[in-house]
Amino acid sequence: MRDGPDIAEIASLIGDPARSQMLMALLDRRAWTAGELAREAGITAQTASAHLAKLEAGGLIVLERQGRHRYAALADGGVSDALEALLRLAARQPKPKRRPGPRDPALRHARSCYNHLAGEVAVQLADHFLALGWLKAVADDGWRVTKPGERGFGDVLGIDIGALGERKPLVRPCLDWSERRPHLAGPLGTALLESLFSRGWVRRGEGRAVAFTRRGEERVAALVKDST
């Protein structure tokens, strides 16, 4: 056997249908109880507990006990990135008359992808940031924040680019599961979603759905208009 990480072990953990359903539920970045995840996966609570123990041992989730309940959450953003990548791969499989991505219109419109915004609106925002010149395409299909972008993200969205730290890249294109075009990920993607919540432009919807408030819709529409 070759030396190195054993991807087969991780793949087997994710590949079980019940465990994959529970992991998909945890993509909304909220902690779920074992009972809630059992219902989501359509299995008994005892079976769910066994699955959660395996996922915890494999480093994919963390479990925390509060009172009578145990709460599960994804271990970190790396796990969510891997799950989103698998969702995009799965959507490539030939399935006639099926659109890729979630069927729920609310999820297709806007949803959380662990720590950043995904869906139709997220892709539209990425397009407009590029059109405004706040982002610029660079080699290897990446993006970088421009000087006008540093001012724009600060003035319009209250995002201090300098405060995002030295992690590189600050922003990266993430191929959207349902739209098949990129949205913002990386530290800037995280800061964007946090800004939308803090300003009251969006609120949590059902599951992973993100619902724009009337003020949020107006401000996003104004931003979009500025780039046309």
Q: Six-digit token pair at 148?
A: 């006008």
Phi/psi region, residue 30 (left: phi>0; alpha: psi -120 to 50; beta: rest), is: beta
Range with lowest mean pLDDT among 99-108, 115-124, 150-159: 99-108
Specify the higher pLDDT residue, 96 or 170: 170
Query: With pLDDT > 70 as the criterion, what percentage of the chain qualifies?
Result: 89
Specify the higher pLDDT residue, 180 or 94: 180
Q: Which of 151-160's residues contact partners 24+ apart within 8 Å by CB, and which partners?
A: 153/188, 156/223, 157/192, 157/195, 157/196, 157/199, 158/195, 158/198, 158/199, 159/188, 159/191, 159/192, 159/195
Dist CA 157 CA 200 (whole Å): 12
Domain that holds residue 151: 105-226
Judgement on whether residues 113 and 216 belong to the same structural domain of the protein: yes
Judgement on whether residues 112 and 207 belong to the same structural domain of the protein: yes
Dist CA 105 CA 102 (whole Å): 8
The residue from 75, 94, 128 where one domain ends is 75
Total domain count, the chain: 2
Phi and psi of 32, rounded to 5°?
-115, 145
- 81 part of a folded domain: no
Dist CA 103 CA 54 (whole Å): 29
C-alpha torsion 3→8→9→10, nearest 10 = 110
- DSSP string covering 215-228, please? HHHHHHHHHHHHT-
Instruction: Give the number of other CB atoms < 10 A from CB of residue 141.
Output: 10
Q: Which of 3-12, 94-103, 124-133 has the highest average model confidence (pLDDT)?
A: 124-133
Judgement on whether residues 146 and 222 belong to the same structural domain of the protein: yes
Judgement on whether residues 167 and 65 belong to the same structural domain of the protein: no
pLDDT at 45: 81
Judgement on whether residues 147 and 217 belong to the same structural domain of the protein: yes
Q: Tell me which DSSP letter residue 213 carries.
A: -
Judgement on whether residues 210 and 166 belong to the same structural domain of the protein: yes
Judgement on whether residues 148 and 209 belong to the same structural domain of the protein: yes
Mean pLDDT of the chain: 83
Judgement on whether residues 120 and 192 belong to the same structural domain of the protein: yes
H or E segment to which residue 10 belongs: helix 7-15
Dist CA 83 CA 113 (whole Å): 10
Strand 61-66 versus strand 69-74 pairing type: antiparallel
C-alpha distances out from residue 78 to 27, 44, 113, 224, Å: 12, 28, 12, 31
Q: How does residue 30 score in pLDDT terms, banded at 50, 70 and 90?
A: confident
Dist CA 214 CA 74 (whole Å): 31
Q: How does residue 97 score in pLDDT terms, banded at 50, 70 and 90?
A: very low
Judgement on whether residues 218 and 109 belong to the same structural domain of the protein: yes
